[in-house]
Amino acid sequence: MFFEFALIGTTASGKTELANKLAYEFNASILSLDSLCVYKQINVASAKTEQKTLDELDYFGVNLLNVDEHFNIALFFEEYKKAKAFAKKNNQILIITGGTSFYLKALMDGLSENFKESQSILSNDEIYHLMTKIDPQAKIEKNDSYRLKKWLGIYEQTNKIPSEILKETRQEALIKKLDIFEISWQKELLEKRIIKRTKNMLDEGLIDEAKMLFNNYDHTLKALNSIGLKECKYFLDQKINQKELEELIIIHTRQLAKRQRTFNKKFDKEILDFENAYENLKTYILKKYQG
């Protein structure tokens, strides 16, 4: 029987581990909500599920593009449609999980018209300054080159306020109703998991992965400025030592977790303590089957 639910939470909260465990037990498909896992060359920095598990489970949203190709909401929507069609055909559950909850929100809110990004030579700072002046409703960070260029592209193509244009051109949502569960940890325990995860990534070859990426791809690519890789760039450029590298990744990951918690407040969801989440979700799934 097909049905779908979402499993969200901060980075290092264990949501992917939990989704994989449930997928093995109930023969479910998984759609990744992780914006880094789409890239074939980013494995350690994305904390990507190991290849053996990817091969054994029906996984979507992973290893779709090369690092120099851009992943966007429109492509994610297509991947969701593919995952849903596969799960329906095989009478499976579809588990939607990952840390990029912005994608989930877009599935539930609808997609705006796919405008082309600007080819302008304006810097991020210049675009950001223009945006805050004429479109204060737009919430884009200064270092988000892609979304800033996209914002400018809409402005150039329409000569209207981009945030208003996006509302006017929004298409129907792909998901009308969805059960959402958020994995919760006490702050101190999550902090320990972030530290452990960072150490594991360094042990598993994060620096070598970063070196390979920076040697072969444009350093300004958005994917290469993600947490874990951008700090490695400082290390490889000999601006920080390895101890400082580890500390910086931990600080930035902690800040990311805080932003994710804030964003996830937008969802109507059930909060689950990680310790009991597996049993609670098993009960939820079995009730769905019985219903």
Asked if residue 220 belongs to a known ligand binding site, the reply is no
Asked if residue 9 belongs to a known ligand binding site, the reply is yes
pLDDT of residue 84: 98
Asked if residue 12 belongs to a known ligand binding site, the reply is yes
Asked if residue 10 belongs to a known ligand binding site, the reply is yes
The set of long-range contacts for 20-25, using a CB threshold of 8 Å and a minimum separation of 24, is: 20/49, 20/53, 20/57, 21/278, 22/93, 22/95, 22/278, 22/281, 22/282, 22/285, 23/57, 23/58, 23/95, 24/56, 24/57, 25/282
Asked if residue 228 belongs to a known ligand binding site, the reply is no
User: Which residues does the chain have with pLDDT short of 70?
Assistant: 113-114, 291
Instruction: For the chain, give every residue range classified as CATH 3.40.50.300.
Output: 3-110+173-290
Asked if residue 15 belongs to a known ligand binding site, the reply is yes
pLDDT of residue 157: 87
pLDDT of residue 113: 66
pLDDT of residue 116: 77
pLDDT of residue 159: 85
pLDDT of residue 242: 96
Asked if residue 47 belongs to a known ligand binding site, the reply is no
Asked if residue 198 belongs to a known ligand binding site, the reply is no
Fold classified for 3-110+173-290? Rossmann fold (3.40.50)
